[in-house]
Structure 1
Amino acid sequence: MPARARLALAIALVLASPLAARAQAPGLTAVAIGADLATGAGGTTKLTLTLSKAVEARAFVMERPDRVVIDLAEVNFQLGPEAGRKREGLVSSFRYGLFAPGRSRIVVDLAQAATVGRIETVTRAKDGAVLLSIEFQRADRDAFRRAAVASDPMPAARKAAAVPEASDTRPLIMVDAGHGGIDPGAIASTGVFEKDIVFGFAQALVSRLESSGRYRVRMTRDRDVFVPLSDRVRLAREANADLFVSIHADSISSAPQVRGATIYTGSERATDAESAKLADRENKADAAAGTETQAGPAQVADILQELTLRETRSFSSGFAKGLRAHLSPVMEMSPKPHREAGFVVLRSPDVPSVLVELGYLSSKRDLDLLQSETWRSEVTGGMAKAIDAFFGNRTTLTRPDALKRSAAIAPVSP
C-alpha cells in the first residue's frame, strides 16, 4: 500500500466518528499520524504534529551536537518511513519514539543554532485532529549557548532492577537489546531499524535460555523503550548478573559487500581503528536520544578491585572465544571475529560482558538472514550452547564474593 494511502487510512481509523471521541478519552494514548516541517517568515522553521488528542509538550535545547529535545506524554507514532529524514530550514532531521514508560521524545537535529519559539496547540475543525506546532528561531551561538545552559531536562526514568530470588542459585543472564525507543540504531535501506531486529533476536534468545530451565534470564528492556547506556550496566550489576550479552547489528552504507558477525569484549584500547569508531558511535546513543551519558561504573581504586576487573575481563574473553566457536558453524563471521573496544555497556568491573554485532544491515544477504526465523533459531541455539559450555565449568560460578562485591561504586565519567 502506498505511503499516502496508509496515512489516509490511519487518519480515517483514528479520527473518524465514533473513534475520534474515544481517542479524546483521558486514559487513551495519543496517536501521531503526521509530522510536517515548514519554513516561515524571518527564517523560522515549524514542526507540526497531527495528533488524535492534545498532549503537553516541553522543549529545550542541547549543545554538542546542537539539537532541540521535545518531551511529550506517551505518543503512538504512526508515521511514514521517511518521516524525519528530510532537511527543511533550520532542521536537518528529527527522530522520535518512546523515551521511558509513559513518556515520548522527539529529538530535532539542527542545521544551525536555533532556539524554541512558540508552542501552540489547535484543534482542526473539519475532523477534530489536534495540531501541535513547535517553532524554531535562528539564534547566534552565544544566545544558543545561554539557552542550553538554562535548560533543565527531566532525568530519564530509571527502570528498577529485578531482584533475583534468594533461593534460586541458577546463573542469571542479562540480555541487552541495543538501542530502543527514540534511538533506532542503524537503519537499513529498506527502512528496517536495528532496534527492532535486535529486540526480536533478544526475545528469541531469552525464550531459548528459559526453556532449558538452567538459567534465570532478564532483559535490559522488554519493550521498544530507550534505556541509557549506564542504566544497562547498572541493571546487570544490581541484579548480580553472572553474564551480560548485548545484541547489536552494524551498518556500513559505503561498503555493502561487508558482512558477518563480530564479538566484542571491553578494553580501554581498541583492537583496531574500525572497532574504536564503532564503539564511539555506539557510545553516542544517549546523545542521539537527547540525554547525556551518565557516570559510568567504578574506577579501579585498589589492588583488590584491579584483580576483580582483570578476572572479569578474563571471563569475558573466555566466553567470547567459546561463543565464536559455537557460532562459526551456524553463521558468517567477520574476518576479525573477536575484537576489543571501549563500549560503555561493557564497562562493568564485576559482570563478564560481551557485545555481539550480528551482521550488517547494509548487506542485503545479512539483512535477509537477520529477518529469517530459521537463521535466528540456529544462531540462538549456538549462543545457548556457548552459554551452557561457559557455565558447565563450575569455576565460572565461583568468583569470590569478596571480589565480586569489591568494585567501588563511586561513579566516574566514561
Structure 2
Amino acid sequence: MKPRAASRSRRTLIKAGGTLLLSVFASVPARAAQILAVRVWPAEDYTRVTLENDSNLKATHFIVKDPERLVVDIEGLELNQTLKELVAKIQSNDPYIRQVRVGQNRPNVVRLVFDLKEEINPQVFTLAPVGEYRHRLIFDLYPVAPPDPILALIEKGEWTRAPQAETPAVPETKPVPETARSEAAEDKPQALTRMVTIALDPGHGGEDPGAIGRRGSREKDVVLAIAKRLKQRIEQQPNMRVMLTRDGDYFVPLHVRVQKARKVQADLFVSIHADAWIEPTARGSSVFALSEKGASSTAARWLANKENAADLIGGVNIRTHDKQLASVLLDLTTTAQINDSLKVGRAVLAELGGINRLHKQAVEQAGFAVLKAPDIPSILIETAFISNPEEEAKLTDDDYQDKMADAVFKGIRKYFAKNPPLAKNRMT
C-alpha cells in the first residue's frame, strides 16, 4: 500500500473509532441526583422543607388555586425511598401544609405537590455545601399575611396591658447625684414607670443545631429549654413581659431575630447560647456585648465569627436578605447602646458567678451580628461549654437549667432597678 493511501486509511479508522466512542458515551444516561435526607421544620413563622442531596438541583414551582397547592418540579432526579419518606414527615399540626404528594412526573423529573391549609408565599432556593451538610434544596412556606408579633402574643395570653396607673420613679425635690441614686437603688429597687419588654433569643434552631456535645446534646435544644424557664420567671413579674424569637425547633436568621425584638419595642435583647471550644477542657460562663472597635480577645473574635456563620448553616435565602438593613443597623449602633449593654452584662455576669465558674471575669465584646439593634441594649450569654463533658451534663440537668434561669433573671431585674427604661408610647 502506498504511504498516502495508508495515511488515509488510518485517518478513516481514527474517525470511525471516535464516532463509536461518542455513540457509546451518548447512550450512557446521566446519573440522576440522589436525595440523601428530607427534613421538615414546621413553625408559626413559616414551614421549611429541606431536601439534602449529592448535587445541585434545579427546581421550578407554581401555585394552583381552589384548593391552594404548591407544585414543585425537580429536574435531574429519580424518585427514591428517601424522598418518599417526605410524605410521612408532614405533621397534622403543621400550620401551612395539609399533606404532600410525591411522584415521578416524567423521566428525570420528580414532582412534589403540597396541599396547603392557607394561601402562602413560597421561597424556593438552593444552598451550597457547608459544614456537615451537602447540597440543599429549600422550600420556605410563609403566610401571605404575616402575623403581627404583638397581636400573636396577645392571642396566646402572653401580652398584657400596661398598668393604667403608673408609679413614678423615686420622687426627687432636687437633683440627686448619680452615685446617690445608684446607692438608693441598691437599698430599695426603684418602681418601674411602665411595662418592661424583654426579647429572649435562643440561639440556632432547625437546620442549625449549634454546637454538639460528646454525649450528643445539641446547643439549640439546651438553650431553648433555658430560655423557656427564664421566660416563666419574667412573666411572673407584674411589670415585665417577654417575647421569644423562636419558641420551637426552627431556624430564624440573625437579622430577623433583631427585627422581632424591634417590632415589639423591646427594652432588652438577651441571646442565649452554649458553645463549644476546640479543647474539651474549656469551661465557664461568659457574657458578651457588641463592639464597634474590634473584639476584646482572640477568643471573643473567634466566637463572634462562629456565631455569625449561623446563617450559612441554618440557610438564608440571599435573594431576600436585607443587606441594607444590616448596614443601617451597624451605622446606627450608638455608644449609649453599648454602654447600657455592658451595664446589664455586668449585672448578669455577677449572678452567673454564683452558680458556675466564669470563663472571663469581665464582660467581653465582639462584633456579634445578633447584638446590632441600634436602640436596644443587647447581650449574648454563653451559659457553659457544651464541649466540656462536665458542663454538658450540667446543661442537660433540670436543676442547673433552673439555676441558670434564676441567675440571668436576677441580673436583669437588678439592671432595670438601677436603670428604669425611658417612657415610650404605651402599647397593648
TM-score by length of 1: 0.62
From 211, 231, 240, give the equivalent of 1:206: 231
Q: 1:104 aligns with which of 42, 48, 56?
A: 48
Tell me how far 1:117 sits from its aligned partner: 2.0
Equivalent residue in structure 1 for 2:260, among 226, 231, 235: 235
Specify the alignment match of 2:273 in structure 1.
248
Q: Which residue, out of 193, 208, 220, partners 1:195? A: 220
Whether contact under 8 Å (1:259, 1:359) holds in the other structure is yes
Structure 2 counterpart of 1:229, which letter?
A: L
Deviation digits for residues 11-63 of structure 1, max 9, x if unmatched?
Answer: xxxxxxxxxxxxxxxxxxxxxxxxxxxxx9967652255xxxxxxxxxxxxxx
Identity of aligned residues (%): 27
Selected match of 1:345 from 364, 370, 386: 370
Distance 1:207 1:386, change over 3 A: same
Tell me the equivalent position of 1:176: 201
> Cα offset for 1:332?
1.6
Q: Secondary structure at the match of 2:363?
A: strand
What per-residue deviation string (whole Å, max 9, x for no partner) do you get for residues 240-283 of structure 1? Answer: 0011111011112x310111111010113111222112111111
Select between 162-171 and 242-251 the one with higher mean Cα deviation.
162-171
Q: Displacement, 1:113? A: 7.2
Name the CA distance, whole Å, in 1 between partners of 2:370 and 2:103. 37
The secondary structure found in structure 2 opposite 1:333 is coil
- CA distance in structure 2 between the partners assigned to 1:123 and 1:177 by the alignment: 31
The one-letter amino acid paired with 1:162 is I
Query: One-letter code of the match for 1:267?
Result: S
**Aligned pair partner of 1:118 in 61, 69, 77:** 77
Aligned to 2:19: none
The one of 328, 346, 371 aligned to 1:299: 328
For residue 47 of structure 1, what is the aligned residue in structure 2?
35
Q: Residue 209 of structure 1: CA displacement?
A: 1.5
Give the equivalent residue in structure 1 for 2:176: none
- Please list, as runs of the form range in 1=range in 2, the aligned pairs for 1:126-145 lying within 5 A after superposition: none
Note if contact 2:287-2:345 (Cα within 8 Å) is conserved in structure 1. Answer: yes
Show the counterpart of 1:260: 284
Match of 1:364 in 2: 389
Structure 1 pair 310–103 and aligned structure 2 pair: CA distance change class (3 A):
same
1:254-403 paired onto structure 2 within 5 Å: 254-268=278-292, 269-292=294-317, 294-295=321-322, 296-297=325-326, 299=328, 309-335=334-360, 337-393=362-418, 395-398=419-422
8 Å CA contact 1:98–1:226 kept in 2: the answer is: no
Check the 8 A contact 1:264/1:340 in 2, yes or no.
Answer: yes
In terms of fraction of residues, the more strand-rich structure is 1
Structure 2 stretches lacking a partner, 5+ long: 1-27, 59-74, 90-100, 110-126, 129-136, 152-158, 164-193
Deviation (angstroms), 1:166: 5.8
CA distance in 2, matches of 1:123, 1:200: 31
Once the two structures are superposed, residues 281-319 of structure 1 have per-residue CA deviations (whole angstroms, 9 ceiling, x without a partner) of 1112112122146334563799xx67xx22111111100
Over 3 Å counting, the alpha-carbon distance change for 1:129 and 1:246 in structure 2 is: closer
SS at match of 2:149: coil
Amino acid at match of 1:120: L
Aligned-pair distance for 1:154? 5.5
Contact 1:237/1:348, CA 8 A, preserved across alignment:
yes
Question: Cα 1:105–1:202, aligned 2, differ >3 Å: closer, same or farther?
Answer: same
Q: Cα gap change, 1:171/1:133 in structure 2, threshold over 3 Å: closer, same or farther?
A: same
CA distance in 1, matches of 2:161, 2:234: 20
1:381 CA displacement: 1.3
Cα deviation, 1:81-105, whole Å, max 9, x if unaligned, reads xxxxxxxxxxxxxxxx457756233
Alpha-carbon separation, structure 2, partners of 1:152 and 1:371:
31
Cα distance change, pair 323–250 in 1 and its aligned pair in 2 (3 A): same
Pair 227,359 (structure 1): closer, same or farther in 2 beyond 3 Å: same
1:211 Cα shift? 2.1
The CA distance in 1 between the partners of 2:82 and 2:301, in whole Å, is 49
Structure 1: runs of 5 or more not aligned: 1-39, 50-69, 76-96, 137-143, 146-150, 403-414
Q: Which amino acid aligns with 1:118?
A: L
Alignment check: 8 A CA contact 1:188 1:361 kept: yes
Q: What value does the CA root-mean-square deviation take over the aligned residues?
A: 3.9
Aligned residues of 1:265 and 1:354 also touching (Cα < 8 A): yes
Give the distance between the partners of 1:176 and 1:246, measured in 2 at CA: 4
1:204 aligned partner, one-letter code: R
- Give, in whole Å, the separation in 2 of the partners of 1:373 and 1:152: 35
Work out the CA distance in 1 between the residues paired with 2:51 and 2:236: 39
Q: CA deviation at 1:170?
A: 1.2
SS in 2 for 1:368: helix
Q: Give the Cα–Cα distance (whole angstroms) in 2 for the partners of residues 123 and 109 of structure 1.
A: 10
For the residues of structure 2 that align with 1:123 and 1:301, how far apart are their CA atoms? 43
* 8 A contact 1:178–1:198 mirrored in 2: yes
Conserved? CA contact 2:352–2:408, under 8 Å: yes
Contact 2:285/2:359 (8 A) holds in 1: yes
Q: Cα distance, 1:179 vs. partner?
A: 0.8
> Which AA in structure 1 matches 2:268?
L
Q: Distance in 2 between matches of 1:372 and 1:102?
A: 31
Aligned AA for 2:48? Answer: S
Question: d(CA) in 2 for partners of 1:216 and 1:277?
Answer: 33
d(CA) in 2 for partners of 1:176, 1:123: 34
Q: Tell me the residue number matched to 2:149.
A: 161
3-state SS, counterpart of residue 76 of structure 2: strand
Residues 274, 383 of structure 2: 8 Å contact kept: yes
Using the size of structure 2 for normalisation, the TM-score is 0.60
